[in-house]
A and B are shown apart, each in its own frame.
Chain A
Amino acid sequence: MPVSLSPEEILETIRMVDAQNLDIRTITMGISLRDCVDSDLDRLGQRIYQKIVRLARNLVTVGEELSRDYGIPIINKRISVTPISLIAEGCGAEDYVALAHTLERAAQEVGVNFIGGFSALVHKGCTRGDLTLINSIPRALANTERVCSSVNVASTRAGINMDAVMKMGEIIKETAELTAERDGLGCAKLVVFCNVPEDNPFMAGAFHGVGEPECAINIGVSGPGVVLDAVRRYGEADFGTLASAIKQTAFKVTRMGELIGRRASERLGVPFGIVDLSLAPTPAIGDSVADILEAMGLEKCGTHGTTAALALLNDAVKKGGAMASSYVGGLSGAFIPVSEDAGMVSALEVGALTFDKLEAMTCVCSVGLDMIAVPGVTTAETIAAIIADEAALGMINRKTTAVRIIPAPGKKVGDRVEFGGLLGSSPIMALHTFESKKFARRGGRIPAPIQSLTN
């Protein structure tokens, strides 16, 4: 053939899409809102709306065109914007919920399903604007469908802002209460980070960082099903062979992201940012990270050996993916969201996966304690302590960690929550019952670790 492709190669690509759920998870357009700043809240809202609509007007059309031309599904088209706390501070408003509505309207107008950036960066301390934003989060998330929020409370360089951590414990509780009739769904759109990346295309944690250009296209690939198939094919192989097979698969998957990213960038006339190498599961059967771990030889995800299996998987995906793209960024690791991964849910149901094992797993992959539903009676202090633990893992290991936790109102261990769609459903996970109240309420900052002194 003129392109010297073999039938096996063509068929392999088609199988990946048809049988193994290979898709481009998201094309996310990052948009800087820094030139929208205004001293008047209404004018600020108008400028934000106009800019988003102007830059993202063709995003969905281009996404659909690319999907059709190349025969690969592109599941989500999304937008991330400069953290609203930075843009709104000068307007003097005491509440930014109106801006969440502005983002919602802009997202609706251009047809994207999520818009991220109702965010604040407070790893060392809060300004008045940061606090205003954080206080607006519960109502912003309860009154919008598409707006996502994130708050960075810690970094390796700054340490952990424990005042912000405690505050976020309270905000998560309030968000859950305001969306109680939907099992606390608002919390599924809120991520608390340590070492947050500024170019992450995945929701709910996406925003357009301050070091980013005016506008950029970032791509999130997927493909747990493809990796699962590769692992199954090497059922008896040793770890070196297995890692190699995963690397080759990750390479191919990432090349798809690179192609779509370059073409989207050309067609939209916007610079290409990064490809995020993350393995992002969905509730679909066969699209599970837990299934990959089990295919490596574990009876159930969460049992002894799970952390090692995940470490191998995460590292092999990065090694393969890094070779496939000019620019790798974002979170780039395996995601282990519980409710969004049928294998994780199943492991939780049979008691194989516990909270403590999940926390251990987050040490060796991205992102953290993701989409875990916990009892409604969980206190703000306990949630803050969970965030502090996860932030400590990120801070010491110089990696991104995050907490997306849903204290489902009125639910207890043994009950289930249903979020629907990609957010999935899950049983309630049991937490430790001993209190962390005095620790969480101590206040101040946990100092930056010795690892931060690299100069």
Chain B
Amino acid sequence: MFDANGGNVQFTPKIGQPTIDGNRVIVTVLGQDRVGLIAGISTILAEANVNILDISQTILQEFFAMFMVVDLAQARVDLAELQQRLEAKGKELGVKVTAQHEDIFRFMHRI
């Protein structure tokens, strides 16, 4: 880690490594409901060997909203790549798809 010995500071940056708090990511799908939505998104996840831990869907303020908790531990791609694939699929299906590390939600809503 960090060594504050004057000018002799040692650095151990962890660029590109997964965050230390696990690999769970929350995938959110927002937009108009339609046939094939879950299938389309799940296919992308399956192709990347991403495990789906939980799915819920609801109508929120007239919007169709689907939330998936997924695990990237065994994934064949990193989060950045997965985000790109999901975004592309979302465009195809006419919905907005995001994938964010679960900590962003945990930190905001849980103490």
**Which A residues have a C-beta under 8 Å from some C-beta of B?**
1-5, 7-14, 35, 51, 54-55, 58, 61-62, 65, 68-72, 213-215, 252, 255-256, 258-259, 263, 266-271
Q: Secondary structure of the A side of the interface?
A: helix
- In the bound complex, residues from chain B placing their C-beta under 8 Å from that of A255 are 107-108
* Known A65-B16, A68-B80, A270-B11; further 4 A-B contacts with Cβ < 8 A: A3-B26, A11-B30, A35-B7, A263-B103
Cross-chain contact A2 with B54 (CB below 8 angstroms): yes
Distance between Cα atoms of A256 and B101 in the complex (Å):
13
B48 located at the interface, meaning its Cβ lies under 8 Å from any Cβ of chain A in the complex: no
Are B9 and A71 in touch, CB under 8 angstroms? no
Interchain pairs with CB closer than 8 A, number: 116
Given known A-B contacts A2-B69, A3-B69, A10 and B26 have beta carbons under 8 A apart: yes
Name the residue of chain A whose CB is nearest to the CB of B20: A266
Q: By the criterion CB–CB under 8 Å, are A3 and B15 in contact?
A: no
Q: Which of A7, A13, A268 contacts B56 (CB 8 A)?
A: A7
Does more than half of chain B's interface fall in helix, strand or loop, or is it mixed? Answer: mixed
Interchain CA distance A366-B106 in the complex, whole Å: 30
B1-27 near A? 1/0 per residue, CB < 8 Å: 110101101011111110110001010
Q: Are A259 and B15 in contact (CB under 8 A)?
A: no
B34 contacts the other chain (CB 8 A): no
Chain B residues with a Cβ closer than 8 Å to the other chain, count? 43
Q: List 24 A-B contacts (CB under 8 A).
A: A2-B24, A2-B69, A3-B24, A5-B102, A7-B58, A8-B60, A9-B109, A10-B28, A13-B105, A14-B30, A14-B98, A69-B79, A71-B99, A71-B100, A214-B4, A214-B9, A255-B107, A256-B107, A258-B107, A259-B103, A263-B103, A267-B13, A267-B14, A269-B12
Is B95 an interface residue, CB under 8 A from the partner?
no
Q: Are A213 and B60 in contact (CB under 8 A)?
A: no
B109 touches A7 (CB 8 A): no
Residues of B within 8 A of A14 (CB): 28, 30, 98
CB pair B108–A252 under 8 Å, yes or no, is yes
